[in-house]
Amino acid sequence: MNRLPAPIEYEEIVVPRPSFAESKLAMVVVGVLVGLTGFGGALALGLFG
């Protein structure tokens, strides 16, 4: 029933969060990539190679 106010509230809540969420996601992604290329890469080479 309240379809108009919901999106507006969500937009206001979603706008400030991306900067904080993205920074955390970026750190996690970088950590995962470093782990995959470093430790995971050696395992992958040993398993696939």
pLDDT in tens, 12-41: 555 555 567 778 888 888 888 777 777 767
- Which pLDDT score is estimated for 26? 82
Q: How far apart (Å, rounded) are the C-alpha atoms in residues 18 and 26? A: 11
Residue-wise over 6-23: b if at least 16 C-beta within 10 A, else e?
Answer: eeeeeeeeeeeeeeeeee
Q: How confident is the model at residue 8 (pLDDT cuts 50, 70, 90)?
A: low
- Which pLDDT score is estimated for 42? 74
